[in-house]
Structures are given as C-alpha cells and as structure tokens.
Amino acid sequence: MDRAAAKQQLDLLKIEVPSWAYGNSGTRFKVFAQPGVPRDPFEKVSDAAVVARLTGAVNSVALHIPWDKVDDYEVLAKHAANEGIALGTINSNTFQDNDYMLGSICHPEGRVRRKAVDHLLECVAIMDQTGARDLKLWFADGTNYPGQDDIRARQDRLQAGLEEVYAQLGDQQRMVLEYKFFEPAFYTTDIPDWGVSYAHCLRLGPKAMVVVDTGHHAPGTNIEFIVAFLLRERKLGAFDFNSRFYADDDLIVGASDPFQLFRIMHEVVKADAINPANDVAFVLDQCHNIEPKIPGQIRSILNVQEAVAKALLVDQAALTAAQLAGDVLGANAILMDAYDTDVRPLLAEWRTERGLDPEPMKAYAASGYAQKIANERVGGSQAGWGA
C-alpha cells in the first residue's frame, strides 16, 4: 500500500487505554509510588484523556470493577466526555477477594461461584449504564497441585457460570474471554490457552469472543498464527497489548520484540481488522512500574502505530505473487523490507496533517501536565493496581 493509503488506514486505528495503567503498580517486592498519580477514577480518566489528545489514536478508557466503581456512572461518563474520551470495556475482577483462594466461577463451593457470577452480572449492569460493548473476562482460576480439584468438574462449573452471564448480555454487548497459560495457579489454569477460550466461546455463541493478551503465552509461541486463525474463524474479539520477557510482565507493548508486534499486526492488517467495522478491540493492558505512567502509555500507542504503519506498507500483491511462486527468500524479503522501513516520518506527517504535534512524547514533556498533577494531587490516597 502507498503512503497516502497507509495514512488513511491509520485513521481507523483506535486503541483503548486501561484505567489501571495510571495508578501505582509494582511487583510483590515493592511498589514505587509516583507523584501526581490519580486518586480516583475521575483522575484516571483525565490522564487517559491526555494520552488520547496527544496521540489522536485513543477513543476510550477501559474500566476495572470494583477498582473504578463510582456512585453514578453517568457523572463519570460526562466527565470523560468533557475531557474528550469515552468509557470503554468493563473488566471484571474475580481474583482479589479472600473467597477466591481456590478459584471464582470454577470454585468447588457453590456459594463462592454464586458470588463470582453475581459480580460478573453486576459488571453487565454497569455496561448497561455506561453503554460499554465489551465485558472482559480474565480468571485467575486453577489449581496448584495434582489431585487438588477435578479438572473436568472445573470446566463444567466454568461453562455454567459463563452461560449465566452470557444470557444476560444485551444485543449490542459481548463477552471477551481471555486466556493465560499460568499464574496465579501453577499446576492447572482453567483457561490456559486460546483453544480452551475458543471452545467455550463457540459453545456460548456469537457474542462470546476470544481475547489475545500478547503477554499470556509461553516463550516461543507463534502469536501471529493464533491471531490469523482466530481472525479467519471470526472469533478474535480483542487484544490486550503488552510485552513480556519472562512471564506476564505487562511491559510496554512492542518494547522487547517490535518484530513480533509487526508480525501480529500484519495479520490484523491483512484481515482488514484495524477497521472498527470488523469489531476487533485493541486495548492496552499494561502497568508502568518504574517508568512514568502517562509517557509510558503514549510510548505504547506510538509502538502500536509504528507496527501497524509498517504492516500497511507491505507490498501485498508482490508478497502473494512470491508466495504463489514458491519464492521463499523473495517473500521473506518483501515482508522484511516493510519491517525495515523507518515509519516515524510517515507518522509525524500523519499527526501534523491532523493538527497533532508530530512528536507526542516531546509534546507531553513540554505540556507541564506532569508538574500540574504532582502539585494538585496532594492528599487523599493514590490509586494503585488494586484500587
């Protein structure tokens, strides 16, 4: 595709940011608090809106319940609209209550399963108020020891819980089901991979779609294959973007392996799935433990845009011709030519033409916003991963 067409395609790409990225986060060893961190969902939304305004590629901010619970979601939605952003995906939380030690909707005890399903139904009720389309489900459920629980019975419980929530979804609502190969459970995880998520989604029906969290695979997994397969089956509902090095590190997307992100986005571009009409949601799922949060988010958006821009530049006609001719090296070279292109000037041009600063990172540094929030946000308690 030529540069002009690529710029038009980039207009379509919208990436949702997560409210939890703006709060303090860390490891089990230490959380390093940062100045100016939001103290409530309103301040998180304001920070997300800064990222939206500077990048021009963000429309919405994902909420996490109960961390972002408010008395009146209309008030929060109005605040968001005033800031120029919308409320997006509702993320459930069935992993931070003492009752969930042995799982949530897969728990052996009916009382705990009821509590977990009720929470998910509450999330659907919140979606009704905010107008959100997607309920994002990630379950920490699993076991640590052989024999601890019955693997198949847990699948039965999972299915029953999901079916109850699915039945509550409105016509325009979806559930997007995430998988993760380990952690916090280490022996079995109840939804460890895309296949298990896919099987449950298929059984549930068209409103259930798989989420690919780029950080939730074993090292060496070919994520672009999974993406291509799910796109072909029309069962890819959303991405959670981040990058991992060892485990589920929740680092900046494209930071450690930009080539992998390019390969993934190439499959997305080929399926025309950056077009919102095709209903694939692009969402960041990251935490910024040692880097400042708002610039961390901006950098993430730029990384995704760069990967997409490179993918758009692939000469698809030449690639197909080389593939059909069995020209292994030629095909590979065509893909690499696009990857090796420096797309930063193209993206700077795209921003300038749309009235944005060509360099969002510098624009943020010059904006004085970091100082402003550090001065203003004193007192109260800072939000953190878990609040």
Could you list the residues that contact ligand PSV (CB under 6 A)? 91, 138, 178, 180, 213, 240, 248, 250, 285
**Shortest reach from residue 91's CB to ligand PSV, in Å:** 5
**Shortest reach from residue 163's CB to ligand PSV, in Å:** 21
**Shortest reach from residue 81's CB to Mn ion, in Å:** 26
Which lies closer to ligand PSV via its Cβ, residue 191 or residue 313? Answer: 191
Which lies closer to Mn ion via its Cβ, residue 241 or residue 350? Answer: 241
**Shortest reach from residue 248's CB to ligand PSV, in Å:** 5
Interacting partner of 149 out of Mn ion, ligand PSV, none (Cβ under 5 to 8 A depending on kind): none
Rounded CA-CA distance 148/145 in Å is 5
Rounded CA-CA distance 178/200 in Å is 11
Which lies closer to ligand PSV via its Cβ, residue 358 or residue 384? Answer: 384
**Shortest reach from residue 93's CB to ligand PSV, in Å:** 6
User: Rg of the chain's alpha carbons, rounded to an integer?
Assistant: 21
Q: Does 240 bind Mn ion (CB under 5 A)?
A: yes
**Shortest reach from residue 98's CB to Mn ion, in Å:** 23
Which lies closer to Mn ion via its Cβ, residue 240 or residue 306? Answer: 240
Per-residue HEC secondary structure of the chain comes to: CCHHHHHHHHHHCCEEEEHHHHCECECCCCECCCCCCCCCHHHHHHHHHHHHHHHCCCCEEEEECCCCCCCCHHHHHHHHHHHCCEEEEEECCCCCCHHHHHCCCCCCCHHHHHHHHHHHHHHHHHHHHHCCCEEEECCCCEECCCCCCCHHHHHHHHHHHHHHHHHHCCCCCEEEEECCCCCCCCCEECCCCHHHHHHHHHHHCCCEEEEEECCCCCCCCCHHHHHHHHHHCCCEEEEEECECCCCCCCECCCCCCHHHHHHHHHHHHHCCCCCHHHCCEEEECCCCCCCCHHHHHHHHHHHHHHHHHHHHHCCHHHHHHHHHCCCHHHHHHHHHHHHCCCCHHHHHHHHHHCCCCCCHHHHHHHHCHHHHHHHHCCCCCCCECCC
Mark the segment that binds Mn ion (CB under 5 A) among 9-17, 208-216, 247-255, 257-265: 208-216
Which lies closer to ligand PSV via its Cβ, residue 45 or residue 347? Answer: 45
Which lies closer to Mn ion via its Cβ, residue 137 or residue 308? Answer: 137
In sequence order, the 6+-apart residues with CB closer than 8 A to the CB of 125 are none
Interacting partner of 248 out of ligand PSV, Mn ion, none (Cβ under 5 to 8 A depending on kind): ligand PSV
Nearest CA to 91 among 73, 109, 69? 69
Which lies closer to ligand PSV via its Cβ, residue 180 or residue 200? Answer: 180
Which lies closer to Mn ion via its Cβ, residue 68 or residue 213? Answer: 213
Which lies closer to ligand PSV via its Cβ, residue 25 or residue 173? Answer: 25
- Binds Mn ion by CB under 5 A, chosen from 213, 267, 306, 357: 213
Q: Does 285 bind Mn ion (CB under 5 A)?
A: yes
**Shortest reach from residue 250's CB to ligand PSV, in Å:** 6
**Shortest reach from residue 70's CB to Mn ion, in Å:** 23
**Shortest reach from residue 133's CB to ligand PSV, in Å:** 16
Mark the segment that binds Mn ion (CB under 5 A) among 70-78, 97-105, 220-228, 285-293: 285-293
Interacting partner of 180 out of Mn ion, ligand PSV, none (Cβ under 5 to 8 A depending on kind): ligand PSV
Tell me, what amino acid is at 265?
M
Q: Does 250 bind Mn ion (CB under 5 A)?
A: no
Residues making contact with Mn ion (CB under 5 A)? 213, 240, 285
